[in-house]
Amino acid sequence: MSSDVSDGIAPGTPWRLGPWRESWTRADHAAAVNSAREAIGRGDVYQVNIVGHASAPYTGDPGPALTRVAGLPGARYGGVLSGSGWAMATASPETLVEVRGGRVVTRPIKGTRPATARGRRELLGSAKERAEHVMIVDLQRNDLSRMAGVGPVRVDELFAVRRWCGLWQAESVVSAGIEGPLDLAELLRAICPGGSVTGAPKLSALSEIARLEPVGRGVSMGALGWVGTDHLDLGLSIRTAAVDGERVHLWAGGGITWDSDPVAEVDEAAAKAAPLRAALAGA
């Protein structure tokens, strides 16, 4: 990565991470979950993804810390990007969209439990998690079906359990064959932002997100990856850390449905952020 992330700090300077500052308290986060549930009860939305932010001051070269984030196990998209005054690292497991072999593919992830035998049983047996997941699969199916140049949409795999760090997560595979010209800009307009980080219906969920979240999402919940002459592979920038010249930033959250328990949702967001915090701290 470049050495100009923080002016005056040379590569190799010892890294020190200060105390984390949350964008909201646990109580505030739980209140936002309840507010989202009220919107669902009114019929405004079916599901809303609520994301919180935390930041911490740092000194020293952020390169090794970001490299540790990128190397977290289970990352399908793991890497570091940097520019003048900024850098980011992702350990994302989720495919936003891939175009390869004559098909458009998206792999939404929704549903989380600790990576234990009990956690796996709970995830597979949870009616709430499955309903939440299927809503997003249907949303992704609809996004693909609205595009010109693609054929019938199919679900190749539904609610498969994958591991990311110390968590089980449920993933599905949704795809459509390419039957005509496929425009990149049209593809990105149809699929972005990803349904698993917004909710359903997407536009209504985005309105709720703007109302409820205290801090913008920055580079998180967006997309990054590769664009080639004969393929496209973009991952959602979840499980992502970013640094400016003074602070490191993290985002984490989860999908809220009517059956969501506020305390459990707050704990889930913390569990998703924990491996990134540990990697940044050097654990």
Encode pLDDT of 132-164 as tens digits: 999 999 999 999 998 889 999 999 999 999 999
Over range 113-132, report the average pLDDT: 96
The answer to pTM > 0.85 is: yes
When divided into structural domains, the chain yields a total of 1
Residue 201: asked if its preceding bond is cis (omega within 30°), the reply is yes
Residue 199 lies in a domain: yes
In the structure, what pLDDT confidence band is assigned to residue 5 with cuts at 50, 70 and 90? low
pLDDT at 283 (0 to 100): 62
Sequence-distant (6+) residues with CB within 8 A of 123 are: 111, 112, 113, 129, 161, 168, 170
pLDDT of residue 12: 73
Tell me if residue 129 is catalytic. Answer: no
Note whether residue 4 is domain-resident: no
Residue 177 has a pLDDT of 96
Is residue 94 among the annotated active site residues?
A: yes
Does 26 fall in a domain? yes
Tokens for 47, please give them. Answer: 């599901």
| Alpha helices, DSSP H, located in 117-201 | 117-125, 127-145, 184-191
Residue ranges making up the domain that contains 271: 16-281
- Cα 134 to chain centroid, rounded: 17
CATH value at residue 156: 3.60.120.10
Q: Which two tokens stand for residue 260?
A: 């969501």
Q: Among the options 94, 98, 213, 265, which is catalytic?
A: 94
| 205 phi, psi to nearest 5 deg | -65, -40
The pLDDT-based confidence of 2 (bands split at 50, 70, 90) is: very low
The answer to the question of residue 143 being in a domain is: yes
Kind and range of the H or E run holding 210: helix 202-212
For the segment 194-212, the average pLDDT, to the nearest whole number, is 96
Is the per-residue pLDDT at 50 higher than 50?
Answer: yes
- Token pair belonging to 151: 């054929």
Share of the chain above pLDDT 90, in %: 89
Q: Which of 110, 129, 171, 213 is catalytic?
A: 110
CB-based contact 269:52 (threshold 8 Å):
yes
